[in-house]
Copies of this chain bind each other. A is one copy, B any other.
Amino acid sequence: MFHVKHQPGITTPLQARGHLVAFDLAAGAGRKEAAALLRRWSETARRLMAGEPSAQDDTGIARDAGPSSLTVTFGFGHSFFGRTGLEKQRPDALDPLPDFSSDHLDRTRSNGDLWVQIGADDALVAFHALRAIQKDAGSAARVRWQMNGFNRSPGATAHPMTARNLMGQIDGTRNPKPTESDFDERIFVPASGGSGDPEWMANGSYAVVRRIRMLLDDWDQLSLKQQEDVIGRRKSDGAALSGGSGATETTEMDLEKTGSDGKLLVPINAHARISRPDQNGGAAMLRRPFSFHDGIDKDGIPDAGLLFVCWQTDPLRGFVTVQRKLDRGDALSKFIRHESSGLFAVPGGAAKGGYVGQGLMEG
């Protein structure tokens, strides 16, 4: 489960609960302490994913549920390399993302030296893993930010593979599929090392993490028709608006088709049109988000939206390309706000008896 080619939590089906947490190394902690921490974390992840108690005093808060689809995924942020004297090993792909006009970024909830993604189908199993990971950090690292997310409960719907987000839209229809021949090339750094990627990133991937607030009170003022025009897909089943009554979520979108009024059925600024890979030079990323809902903010409006996590071989050809395009003309942009941002290098899976990032730490 844990010792695999690619880290778990990337192609794993969406889980009902998720925790994202970023750590900064403590003052005085360097390469040695970081390596020891990664070893502890890997051992904890291995044990919990096998349904065993964690290595250190286990808090026992998730006894009796087994692993419940638990995955734990580890990544490195740009700042990690300077703090550990490993600047020469820093991938160019970790260069800071460009600014986007829809950004309202909170720096305290962005980036970080280390990033951990936890997912599980049971809330207590996920929480227990988060506590164990925090306990492992000990005096080597402190939590920089932490966010909680969720997806639908297992079995709740007939659409187990495609999520519905808090705007009510089916989200992820055009995701690359592991069965597609170019999937690995788009999502994972090659085993032989990528062009420009350091060797330790073999079989790894890059994660872009954005806390995307949805302005739901504004969104809910729109009629169903208006909402569907913003997205370009039917809300009920996710079919493209160019499709007829028999169309489904996977029916090919017809970008040129017009209605009886001569207007494009999928509007020119519809989110699903603009974000299509074929409108972005083939750019593709694997979106694997969680929804979030942190109650109401101080203005009384819902603090809810999407913990957007996407995976790609190269952030410049994946997320950045698509986001630049969206930034210029996406009808959805009025209803969302990017509140935080992170970019992390996620190495391949740990070798048996080894730990995640060993190639970097001991390379």
Contacts and interface: CB of A to CB of B under 8 A. Distances in A.
Interface of A: 16-17, 57, 59-65, 68, 121-125, 127-128, 131, 135, 142-143, 146-148, 150-159, 164-168, 216, 220, 223-224, 235-236, 291, 293-296, 300, 302, 304
A128 B164 CA distance: 12
A59 B143 CA distance: 36
A15 B16 CA distance: 14
Contact of A63 (B16, B62, B165, B236): B236
Contacts of A122: 152-153, 156-157
A341 to B, nearest CB: 18
Contact of A64 (B62, B142, B157): B157
Contacts of A216: 131
A291 B63 contact: no
Contact of A65 (B17, B65, B142, B156): B156
B65 A125 contact: no
A125 to B, nearest CB: 7
Contacts of A156: 65, 68, 121-122, 124-125
Contacts of A121: 153, 156
Contacts of A57: 220, 223-224
28 contacts: A17-B150, A60-B235, A61-B164, A61-B165, A61-B168, A63-B164, A63-B168, A64-B158, A64-B236, A65-B152, A68-B153, A68-B156, A122-B152, A123-B151, A123-B153, A123-B291, A125-B156, A127-B293, A127-B304, A131-B220, A131-B302, A142-B300, A143-B296, A143-B300, A148-B293, A154-B155, A294-B294, A294-B295
Contacts of A135: 220
Contacts of A125: 156
Contact of A146 (B151, B155, B295): B295
A236 B167 CA distance: 40
A44 to B, nearest CB: 14
A168 B127 CA distance: 11
Given A61-B165, A64-B158, A123-B152, 16 more contacts: A16-B16, A16-B123, A16-B153, A17-B153, A57-B220, A57-B224, A59-B168, A61-B167, A63-B235, A64-B236, A68-B153, A123-B151, A124-B152, A131-B220, A148-B295, A294-B295
A64 B164 contact: yes
Contacts of A158: 64
A9 to B, nearest CB: 18
A148 B295 CA distance: 7
Nearest to A142: B300
Contacts of A131: 216, 220, 302
A85 B158 CA distance: 49
Nearest to A164: B124
A121 to B, nearest CB: 6
Contacts of A153: 16-17, 68, 121-123, 153-154
A161 to B, nearest CB: 13
